[in-house]
Structure 1
Amino acid sequence: MKIYSEIFDVVPNDLDNLNHVNNIRYVEWIQDISKKHWAQVTSREIQESMIWVVRNHNITYHKSAVLGNTINISTYIKSNNGPISTRIVEIKNNNTDELLVKAVTEWCLLDSKTFRPKRVPKEIQALFL
């Protein structure tokens, strides 16, 4: 499996009224890292012919991140079944390596012209394994 990751700092706009990272921000990070991974691994031609939509997010919040924390977010594809790809995203405190959030997301692959589900081609699966 090929892991894609990024490191960044928590900034004021990431916080909620409790001065923790807002849950909605975590969802945005989960979606953003997934899209960046797809864009990094695939060609423009592939990106123009196929699109992904979220079918299901299962997010477990373990600890809170706060202003000034450095975040390490990583993602990989766990499995593919027909048009469904199961992606894991882990968000950790980069300084302590503590797991803050773990997400298991089912993404559905669609044909970009018809918007109909499309089996994940073996060539695409191979790019992420």
Structure 2
Amino acid sequence: MIKVYLERKITRDDLAPGNIEKHPELRELYSLYEEEGDFTYSRYIREELPPHVARKILNTRILELLDFLSKNKDIGVSELARSLGRSAPNVSRDLRFLARWKLVRLNEQGKKKTVEITARRIEILFAEK
């Protein structure tokens, strides 16, 4: 049996009430967020990814995209597509998928859309049944 884990930055969305019950380690961070009202903490959370997500992430194009993002901070979607030699719609589709599973964060700065990688580590574990 194969298990895939993602270690990623914690986002504001993670501090929603339903998520705190799923991840008790977020309670302390949520208290700090309530007290200070700011979210500038660089903490990480580890989650297991469903098999269909893991398969897609291990796709060559997705790995290439994640690798490029890990080396290029706050890059625009158009520039990213150009750099990878891919069409902007295809890159946008892959980015939406990655954002849905919180491997990246999509930011809007005026008319420019930028991408920030939130994934820190992806682990593949092979376990005996």
For Structure 1 versus Structure 2, the TM-score category normalised by the shorter chain is: under 0.3
TM-score between the two structures when normalised by the length of structure 2: 0.28
TM-score between the two structures when normalised by the length of structure 1: 0.28
Q: From the two aligned structures, give the one with the greater helix fraction.
A: 2
Choose between structure 1 and 2 for higher RCO, CA contacts under 8 A separated by at least 6 residues: 2
